Amino acid sequence: MLLLAFAVVSRAAGKPAPPNILLIVSDDQGYADVGFQGCQDIPTPQLDRLAREGIHCTSCYVSHPYCSPTRAGLLTGRYQQRFGHENNPFYDPTDHREGLPTTEQLLPAYLREAGYVTGWIGKWHLGAALEFRPLKRGFKEGFGFIGGGHRYQNWQENEAVEYQVPIERNGQRVEVTNHLTVEFGQEAARFIRRHQAEPWFLYLAFNAPHTPHEPTAERLARLDSIPDLKRRRYAAQVSLMDDAIGEALAALRASQQERRTLVVFFSDNGGPIGTNGNGSRYTPFRSGKGSVYEGGVRVPFVVNWPGTLTAGKTYDRPVSSLDVFATALACAGIPMPKDRKYDSVNLLPFLKGENPGTPHERLFWRSGPQWALREAQGKLVRRAQQADELYDLADDPGEARDLAETKVQKAKVLSAALDTWDRELVPPAFPGLGARRPGKGTGKK
């Protein structure tokens, strides 16, 4: 209440209101599957405009190659392994262990204390029990589903089946007749129009283009030039999401909030490949979702703030999805908390050119029996019971030529740094999806 009163008095005294923050996350989208990354067969005009009028970060990484841990890191500003969120939780509203530990305070809670209206739309995937849900973690408003995925249309509601649970608004079931991606875009636009007079934070977390692929017939027909059916269905899902993002951005422009809104977009991890692939592409990188090679953790990333950030720039130094936390707090005028170790960096001085340095000396990953570290252009990859691998991303972005035996000292230094980081972490706090119990919310269809 004191923070809110201070914010009101400050604005009355003529100080500018803090900016709105629109955080857009796609689900399982390949690095190469947007126009601003060179994609030719999937139209993404809204995202391309966002990049053209903002800053395109070419070396952005998520902190984990799977959905839920990435989101846990994003909303806490900490490597999620510091508090045990290393696995995707299974869906079970009666399980009080499978979710983002309540010992962590999330970004929306900090922003709400500072006078922001906080909203979540879309996918949650951070725990199904009541104490893990959005309205208990700092969000004032919410619209979406609690699990890790959902059907897009024509589902039969079933609270026990993860991909068919009811869609909820502020904890109450609502009927959805639109394609779910379309509905999320419209709901975001409504939120933006509804809160024109106050600073807001909106976490717009699409489940597109995650499977199951259920695009509208119209959108699938529009992309019939793509011969491979899986790729075409995936492309249609991406295209629908791009339209939905455009709906939200149009609401910003129409309500004259564009120049006072920081917009961030990225994918939560790389797209799945192989027999379980979703049709995504990760050119020029290696592997995909679930892997700590580049294709699993390097993602499309855009930061847009008209009038504050120079339009049309690219930023090539490594940044992380973890950095959204510190960047958002800085925008809101909130100091970084000091109660524990944080890994997030405020990107604004770097993107503005005020700081010529590098946001991160090193970035780290751990996912089960695999680890990785990036320092400058060097990348160390470790897989259990195998020798460490070393790559030079400047010359070999596809991680095809292992240099560990020719650059022994470099590999040794990075290996020691990885060991030091790994010792700071804790074991998984819950067993996760791989240990899901039969009959407990296991259905997806």
Q: pLDDT value at position 2?
A: 42
Residue 35: both structure tokens together: 């126009």
Considering the candidates 125, 150, 179, 360, report the single residue annotated as catalytic: 125
Cβ(59)–Cβ(301) below 8 Å: no
Q: pLDDT value at position 14?
A: 57
> Does the pLDDT at position 129 exceed 60?
yes
SS3 321: coil
> Does the pLDDT at position 386 exceed 50?
yes
Q: pLDDT value at position 16?
A: 78
- As a whole number, mean pLDDT of residues 199-212 equals 98
pLDDT digits (tens, 9 = 90+) for 302-311: 999 999 999 9
> Does the pLDDT at position 6 exceed 70?
no
The gap from C-alpha 77 to its chain's centroid, in whole angstroms, comes to: 12
Q: pLDDT value at position 240?
A: 98
Provide the b/e sequence for 102-124 (b: ≥16 CB within 10 Å): eebbbbbbbbbbbbbbbbbbbbb
Q: pLDDT value at position 433?
A: 85
Domains 2-360 and 363-423 are alike in CATH topology: no
Considering the candidates 64, 67, 213, 331, report the single residue annotated as catalytic: 67
Instruction: Give me the chain's average pLDDT, please.
Output: 94
Nearest to 79 by CA among 404, 383, 372, 387: 372
Residue 219, strand partner residues: none
Q: Where are the domains positioned within the chain?
A: 2-360, 363-423
For tokens 């991606």, name the residue.
Answer: 181
Determine whether 150 is an active site residue: no
Determine whether 67 is an active site residue: yes
Residue 315, strand partner residues: 57
Q: pLDDT value at position 4?
A: 43
> Does the pLDDT at position 195 exceed 70?
yes
pLDDT digits (tens, 9 = 90+) for 404-415: 999 999 999 999
- Number of neighbouring beta carbons within 10 Å of residue 416: 10
- What number does CATH give the domain 363-423? 3.30.1120.10
For tokens 């879309």, name the residue.
Answer: 122
pLDDT digits (tens, 9 = 90+) for 316-351: 999 999 999 999 999 999 999 999 999 999 999 999
How is domain 2-360 classified at the architecture level of CATH?
A: 3-Layer(aba) Sandwich (3.40)
Q: What are phi and psi of 135, to 5 degrees?
A: -70, -10
